Amino acid sequence: MRLRVDGYETSLCKTSAGGEYEYIEVLLRDMRLIVDIDFKSQFELARPTATYKDLLNSLSQVYVGTEKKLFKIVSLMCSSAKQSYKEMKLHIPPWRTTSYMQAKWHKVSKNKGESENSSSSKCIKWSPPKIKPKRPSGSALTIQFSNMGSINCC
């Protein structure tokens, strides 16, 4: 992760509130920044109104900002989604409510490893993935035949 290499304190956060979800948390002094590379898709609706489409199109695919600003955007988008559902005479699913959506990005306590608002979140320090040594290519049958030496058929 480039942010960690550049000296930033970063964590990969996973929440299970509102479905399995991941985002990056960057801590700068007393400020918490959230980096979400799949932000816009969280607000896509199957049959949105034109007004909701316009609002959705104004969102960036990637979100980088504070939790406070994020929650304002989520609140606005959820209110707009609610209005869109009403205009289309559709039921509003519970996973489209503001509190449900905001639960994806709730702050995680460093001391306990638990969310301040729920026990379904965790942050882990990111480290590069371990690379496994490459095994010889080919199937087990290929390897078995190659170890037999020369075979004279027919």
C-alpha–C-alpha distance, residues 146 and 112, integer Å: 55
Residue 82 scores a pLDDT above 50: yes
Q: Which two tokens mark 51?
A: 């007004």
Q: Is 130 left (phi over 0), alpha (psi -120 to 50) or beta?
A: beta
pTM recorded for the entire structure: 0.68
Tens digit of pLDDT for each residue in 12-70? 888 876 568 899 999 888 889 999 999 999 999 999 999 999 999 999 999 999 999 99
Say which residue, 90 or 136, is predicted with more confidence: 90
Parse the chain into domains and list their residue ranges.
2-146
